[in-house]
Chain A
């Protein structure tokens, strides 16, 4: 158990962990939510079975859809597989490919994936898909600046914009967690995560509600393996965002400090446990609040914007 793993293996494990564990996190959230409602709920591994079933099905494309419709799920999945290389998933030290892009780059790639899916939805000509895409991008006009401000907070606190550096700073002393900028940025990021993963109070994840769909509506016209790719992609996005929140802001402990195999395995387990815990929190929120009416989502996004802006202000004036 004390064998040192070669660095490329660790890098590959980062991507693999995210890819493999992502549907599981969705499964955990669904089950916990059902249990809270007094139902038995689906199996924890149900999303895997769903993906397997979808891969076996036939893929159809609407008339008039172009190559964008077919390429977008693949490209989005590729983006989602790239981002885990850039953020601290398993290790507390930077990995070689991790310097390809900083946290801003990671944010850009995530936004690119979202954009591709939206363009594919527009390409279909279907009213529901187009509606979902346009809503997602409209609200995204407020939530993307929030992400930027959160990135600025990271940059101001550590003097760099590498997410590894912030994780190290936070681990260094308890006073780092108490500073208002940190808490505000974490809260703002959490609200953006709720929006990006389509949870209450932005959208209902269980069942389709045509008039309220945002994220859910975009893959409406895809089917078969492409649909499986999109579902898997959105699950990966969820886990990636959870990882950023947990390993950079809230709980950057449990990351492997060395290349020992034991430490890496421990890091994988720690990541899954933390992600599951956050999933439980999201499930509790799902069951506690009602979905916001569509025009009130701007208030929600404005609230996240407020938190992020205040975080940057407190840093500018010192003492934050």
Chain B
């Protein structure tokens, strides 16, 4: 397993180095191969992590919870790497600036994926923070890679707000050190395992402070209201493959960081306080996102608000605390990664076809795009928790957990708001896919896909969603059970 883990750590970094030097086609091929290979490597980790925690080199610690997030990230990495072959194929030989753009894009993409894969494997809260900080700077550069005013503005807002939030998260790390040092001595190095084991003996006030600061700080990166304001801008202005990674994987990695602090907080403070905090943020995010979904004019911004909604659902799910809700949360991480990735990739095809992000410019998608149109529709329906896809299963489990934990009001609020979000999303997507554009410009566009490369990953994503929804494989269920046990064992 050590070999697998080391490969997982080194491969994307090597791919980034290759992309910096090699011509565009080779970089594309190397990235695609690396992405799919990483997904395979993580799959290889699943059986091992279902039985015991893996620890290597004193800085790596991989338990079942980590592998869930690794799965989400690596799947999207592979999908996006393949998708970008088609996405960047437009003006390949036309202008010389393209090859420089390509190099930067692929180097950035690989490095970004590398840090997102490294973060769940860190054994140490300080290294976790550093990894999340590096994902911030890399993704800000990727957001700014497009040469538009909107991208520059979005990148600036993103890095300012996210860095300020991560400053709060650094404060949380420092207070976690303080709490740990009280029990474990001043040479405590912020390792997560010993901190969790010392749970009940930790002093309450610093842990409480650290948890709230961590939720606020990492929640900035996760997209929790009210510190989510950078999210719609950054996710809509970035290139589509990057948007998919941002929404599907980066938000999940930030959630992973919050989960680690949640584990420590529950061990030290008992379940009541951490769950109340998460419930408050979760409901706020879900409510605001559901309302904002109604008045969007930009398709990628629409999907970004849908991400905020789903992050709210994750927070609410954790706040229920019972095992079935936690299982739903972890499954939701996986399913959301697949579904959001699909949705963004489909939206990218629509944008490419119709030449713009504005929803009013897109119409009649189903007719003009024989594959991507229906696939995009399916992806959005999956996002809205339509059976038989994975998100339906996960949200169902979360709601079940809510009722089992006697949080009936919260569960009811969740159901109502998810329905409102469904309404908001489906109205817009309906208009984009089924209703032809009024100005008859559709006649000028020919029927057909811009690129096959952009269809294949979406198909893979839909298949994954079906698998997750209908019948998750036994290894996955085993992994999830162990992860839930680890999360809930602290309760």
Within 8 Å by CB, do A and B touch in the complex? no
